[in-house]
Structure 1
Amino acid sequence: MGMGKSSTTVRFAAVGDLHVTKDSAGKLRGFLAQASDAADALLLCGDLTDYGTAEEAKILADELSAVSVPIVAVLGNHDFETGTPEVVCATLKKAGVRVLDGEACEIEGVGIAGVKGFAGGFGRGSLGAWGEPAIKAFVQEALHEAMKLESALAKLRMRRRIALMHYSPVLSTVQGEPAEILPFLGSSRLEEPLLRYPVDAVFHGHAHRGTIEGQTISGVPVFNVARPLLLRKHPDRPPFRLFEVPREPADEQELVAAK
């Protein structure tokens, strides 16, 4: 592994919005291999395919074969477009990817909670579950995703934790997008579980023209790692975000697990 393992930190490479199409074959492998060399694990923040087709999922799985570290992913709205997100999931799982949808997993002592998330707006502009059934159903979807995130976070017993999603939990990282669409880029309801269950960092995608970094009300860093955004902001670097978490001593990890 290029940079070698660090005895003091666990390194994560995070990117979302790969938007794999049938023409993507061979085009992502290079930067995915770089991410793999730089990190202990790769985090994928949804919109992994462009239309959620079996063909795109297969091409994505082939591209991911360049990665030699654990891969943890959540799906995005594009992965649902064809109506068969379970096909995308199954193809990724067969390729060894851990796909989280309200579940948690652990990488080298760091807990990861993952969920797609949903839209609905931020702060006082959040859509309320009031009026027509369609509005109530829309808001219920956002609440449901927030509950899934909460239950995933609640399962994590370790000290170091990361939240992975596609939609943003905060307004700050979607700033830069047209004002008219901001309520459709995420929801403050996703921020609430993060206030109850503190994490070291949050990664999301979706907002291609958003802002690279923001934070929750409680000061947790939130990173927008949509690949088109990273490519535009740092054209000189491979499009992924590296994030380091202090490595907990092994005996501490066991202690926490035993509790």
Structure 2
Amino acid sequence: MLIAHISDFHVFHDRAETPLVRPDAARAARRVVEDMAQFSPGFDAVAFTGDLTDGGSTEDYDLLRDVLSPLKIPVFVVPGNHDRRATLRSAFGGDIPFEDGHFLNYENHLGFLRILALDTLIEGRSEGALAPESLHWLAGKLASPALAPILLLLHHPPFPTGIDALDRSALTGGREEMAEMIRAYQSPLIILAGHIHRPFQAIWNGAYCAVAGSPAFQIALDLAASEHGPGRVSEPYAYYVYRIDETGGFTVHTRFVALD
């Protein structure tokens, strides 16, 4: 099975909410979608780990749906800190089985692959958290390990980047509780996140983890301790291609897309 992992498109209809976002974010996103749509062999699904839009308005999501329209496959989305729950639910509720209630957690299946999606949004804040309800939901889903591999999607990475300023705005609530669950889980598990605007991979509590890049803007690699963090850098956009088999074995390739 082939899965593409993308993140942080930040598309907007009227104006960007984030100063760093490029003014032609929708055009850059279309470039990435075109590359995925033309990829051969075709993808089975796309994991899209948050900051789908930059403001979360109905018009923003209408634009995003149009940007994604060349993809005739499932697109599994989670909210980022620039998304809004009500409008995201309205835009994607016909395609995705969001849980009832406040949070946009859900489980889905794609062949032998199990998808668990977590809502880490704190509306109005950059950092993210897993509320007690979401931690309880995740604990229930991981209570019975199975042979089927799991893709666990969330926007704010619980695993560290090594870039201090960015880690302070990642998952700040529920991280230790999640770590305990991941350590105890024995079946194949892949954790995919966004938010950092820099592609990287890690092993965290025994699980493979990755963050995809962002076509809206990318952050420089600066591992020196800094209060303010690294600035923006001009690099080709990078998304990941996962080839996963029924045992949970997988290979990862980096796909680069040149953006003007």
Which TM-score applies when normalising by structure 1?
A: 0.68
How far the C-alpha of 1:12 sits from its partner, in A, is 0.8
State the secondary structure of the residue aligned to 2:82.
Answer: helix
Partner of 2:243: 244
Structure 2 runs not aligned, ≥5 long = 14-23, 222-233, 248-260
Structure-1 separation of matches of 2:46 and 2:130: 28
Number of aligned positions between the proteins: 209
Deviations 1:143-202 (A, max 9, x none): 43333333344478452111111111212xx32252xx5233113333232223344311
Task: Please list, as runs of the form range in 1=range in 2, the aligned pairs for 1:14-163 lying within 5 A after superposition.
Answer: 14-22=5-13, 24-36=25-37, 37=39, 38-80=42-84, 85-94=85-94, 96=95, 101-117=104-120, 142-154=131-143, 157-163=146-152
Does structure 1 conserve the Cα–Cα contact (< 8 Å) formed by 2:5 and 2:239?
yes
Which of 194, 197, 212 lines up with 1:225 in the alignment?
212
RMSD after superposition: 3.1
Name the one with the larger helix percent. Answer: 1
Deviations 1:19-45 (A, max 9, x none): 111164454223113224352110010
1:168 paired to 2:157: yes
Identity of aligned residues (%): 20
Structure 1 runs not aligned, ≥5 long = 1-9, 120-137, 249-259
Does structure 1 conserve the Cα–Cα contact (< 8 Å) formed by 2:120 and 2:128?
no
Does structure 1 conserve the Cα–Cα contact (< 8 Å) formed by 2:79 and 2:120?
no
State the secondary structure of the residue aligned to 1:194.
Answer: helix
State the secondary structure of the residue aligned to 1:113.
Answer: strand
